[in-house]
Amino acid sequence: MVRMGDFFDLGTVAKRFRFFAVLEAVSWAGLLIGMAFKWIPRLLDALNLGVTDPQIVVGVKIFGPIHGGVFIFYVLIALLAARELEWNRRTTLLALVASIPPFATVWFERWAVRTGQLGELSAGAAAEGAAPAATRS
């Protein structure tokens, strides 16, 4: 498990990748919530369910640009990680494709840690997984 202080340590490419993978998913959540507040009242109004269209677009106006910026940073850090961590084409393509569906960047980051693709983060995960077995007698 990642401690909160470790999560904000951006000292290596792998740690920056982890940070932006999670941040990209959080920005997706904000954008999806903003879109729901924008479109659900319009849908209910169109269906004549007695709900008037309040024009709640502030969530999209806030989270749209935030998500766009974080998305660009995620793609750039994924390309940097691919070069620095010597990912093959398949891993690089998975990292880039993971930026499209909501929350897939977190799935990719977890997969990359488990499969040894994220340098010291993968080594730390392997050590954590091995520690309980080593202490058993």
Residue 131, pLDDT above cutoff 80:
no
29-36 mean pLDDT = 89
5-10 mean pLDDT = 71
In this predicted model, which residue has the larger pLDDT, 21 or 58? Answer: 21
**What value, to the nearest 5°, has the Cα angle with vertex 104 and ends 117 and 27?**
115
48-70 mean pLDDT = 77
CA distances in angstroms from 93 to 29, 80, 82, 108, 111, listed in the order given: 23, 13, 9, 11, 14
Q: What's the chain's average pLDDT?
A: 82
Residue 58, pLDDT above cutoff 80:
no
Instruction: For residue 54, give the 3-state DSSP assignment.
Output: coil
Most confident of 9-18, 34-43, 51-60: 9-18
In this predicted model, which residue has the larger pLDDT, 55 or 118? Answer: 118
Give residue 10's pLDDT.
77
Give residue 132's pLDDT.
40
Q: Is 103 left (phi over 0), alpha (psi -120 to 50) or beta?
A: left
